[in-house]
A and B are shown apart, each in its own frame.
Chain A
């Protein structure tokens, strides 16, 4: 299994540009999520999905959209990039058993810089 994969690894955008960060997992996990990590801080939840066709907002959703058309893929879209979105983005997935996340598997991250 490849686990959780993310592309691209690095990206530089200009303010106002849009782009999509890709995330895929091959473990048949129902629960997927996107986090951002800023220097010296822990991870903050952007959006999450408890299954195909279901998404919901996390702590810091503004400026981002997600969709979950398949179990495997969970792309994150930046609508109009801003310097405040410069960060490292992590995608994660896990089995879902009711309200318990259980172990989350993280991807390698995408380092995004917005100029």
Chain B
């Protein structure tokens, strides 16, 4: 079935440390994955994405790793800052429905990241 989940619902880290948020997916046909950040009272905000032909992709202070063998995705945040406090969602893109080109994002439940001063 389609299931995108997270190993940990909450993660607490010290300011300045690195954070690692994990995500498991079950659809082996998924070929595109996205990490979103959602702050309280706001809509999800795109952080970084990765296609299935890649194992790793780096952005500014963030790195996404994809292990297709075990269907695992992770988001690494370097030197975590107070502004990184939020709920982080992974999502996988799959074909859906009848319309040509139709796709949908299947979201995980989210991990709440809190930063300790």
Contact = CB atoms under 8 A, between A and B. Distances in A.
Interface of A: 4, 31, 33, 40-45, 48, 50, 54-59, 90, 92, 96, 98-109
A106 B102 contact: no
Contacts of B95: 99
Given A101-B93, A103-B49, A43 B44 contact: yes
Given A48-B97, A105-B46, A106-B45, A100 B104 contact: no
A65 to B, nearest CB: 16
Contact of A56 (B43, B97, B107): B97
A42 B99 contact: no
Interface residues of B, number: 29
A48 B96 CA distance: 10
A63 B42 CA distance: 25
24 contacts: A4-B43, A33-B104, A41-B109, A42-B91, A42-B107, A42-B108, A43-B105, A45-B105, A48-B102, A48-B104, A50-B102, A54-B99, A57-B97, A58-B96, A90-B43, A99-B95, A99-B101, A101-B32, A103-B34, A103-B49, A104-B46, A107-B43, A109-B41, A109-B42
Interface of B: 4, 32, 34, 36, 41-46, 49, 89, 91, 93, 95-105, 107-110
B99 to A, nearest CB: 5
A47 to B, nearest CB: 10
A20 B8 CA distance: 36
A100 B103 contact: yes
A98 B32 CA distance: 13
A106 B105 CA distance: 13
A106 B98 contact: no
Nearest to B112: A40
Given A40-B110, A42-B4, A45-B105, 11 more contacts: A31-B103, A40-B109, A42-B91, A42-B109, A50-B101, A90-B44, A92-B43, A100-B32, A101-B93, A101-B103, A104-B46
Contacts of B107: 42-44
